[in-house]
Structure 1
Amino acid sequence: MSQLETSDENFDLALIIEIADGSDEFLVESIEMFLQQSPEQMGVIHGAILAQDFTLVASAAHKFKANLGFFGMTTSQENMLQIEKLAKAGAGINEIIEKYNEVNAALEPSLAKLHKIMAEKQALL
């Protein structure tokens, strides 16, 4: 698989590929877990934003930003950090919504690409 296929402007799999150390099985399992958990985590954050539950927003954003880092989603990771900080301060709901929407917009096409990468790697197992 070429470098172009494992990265774009929203993600870079270099770190997770390095951690996998040549194991396609590990890579597939990691991508699969990320694909399952990301919509769930975004849903928790979205629900907490709607409820203006700043404690839950901060907690969920904190948890999700680490996962984004493993998949080289640095811009989305930074947005989650900002969401976490704003929520801890208990203010900035409009900015929180804006940052959430930016993450969501970047995440959707990335998840589709990760599905393709996972399928290619699964075919090699």
Structure 2
Amino acid sequence: MPELELSDQYFDLSFLLEIADGSTEFIVESIDMFLVQTPELMWAIYNAIKAGDRTLIAQSAHKLKPNLGFFGMLTAQSMMQEVEALAKGDADFAAIEAKYVSVRSIIAPTLEKLKVIREAKAAEL
């Protein structure tokens, strides 16, 4: 079996592995939560953009930021900070949506990689 890719230019699982302290179950559960919560929050942001709801955009972006940091997704985390700031400011919705689309282009492939990692780790249990 090829070695798992536990980091790339957009994510790094070093922190997760460190706090897991060898617990494969913890890693699998953490990835499971991320794979559920992240798409939910991304959809909430998308729908809030379409509805013109700055408050919900900012709240959802704020909730997502620590999750991204936990998975070493620092570029996405920084971009989500920008989405939150744009929503709290007076930026037009086209600018907010453009930043959202950029961050989504980073998050989507990482979710796919995390699914592969999750399956491989779950097979070790």
Q: Fold match, TM over 0.5? A: yes
Aligned residue type for 1:49: I
Distance 2:62 2:92 in 1: 17
Equivalent residue, structure 2, for 1:33:
33
Equivalent residue, structure 1, for 2:123:
123
Q: How does 1:77-92 map to 2 (within 5 A)?
A: 77-92=77-92
Distance 1:91 1:52 in 2: 11
Aligned-residue RMSD, C-alpha: 1.4
Shift of 1:51: 0.8
Shift of 1:90: 3.4
Distance 1:111 1:52 in 2: 27
Unaligned runs of 5+ in 1: none
Equivalent residue, structure 2, for 1:54:
54
Equivalent residue, structure 2, for 1:22:
22
Shift of 1:48: 0.4
Shift of 1:18: 0.9
Distance 1:69 1:95 in 2: 23
Unaligned runs of 5+ in 2: none
> Does the CA-based 8 Å contact 1:20-1:27 persist in structure 2?
yes
TM-score scaled to structure 1, two decimals? 0.94
Shift of 1:94: 2.1
Distance 1:73 1:93 in 2: 24
Shift of 1:44: 0.3
Equivalent residue, structure 1, for 2:112:
112
Equivalent residue, structure 1, for 2:99:
99
Aligned residue type for 1:23: S
Provide, for residues 31-56 of structure 1, a one-character-per-residue CA deviation record: whole Å limited to 9, x for no partner: 01100111111000000011110011
Aligned residue type for 1:46: Y
Shift of 1:98: 1.3
Which deviates more from structure 2 when the two are superposed, residues 94-103 or residues 45-54?
A: 94-103
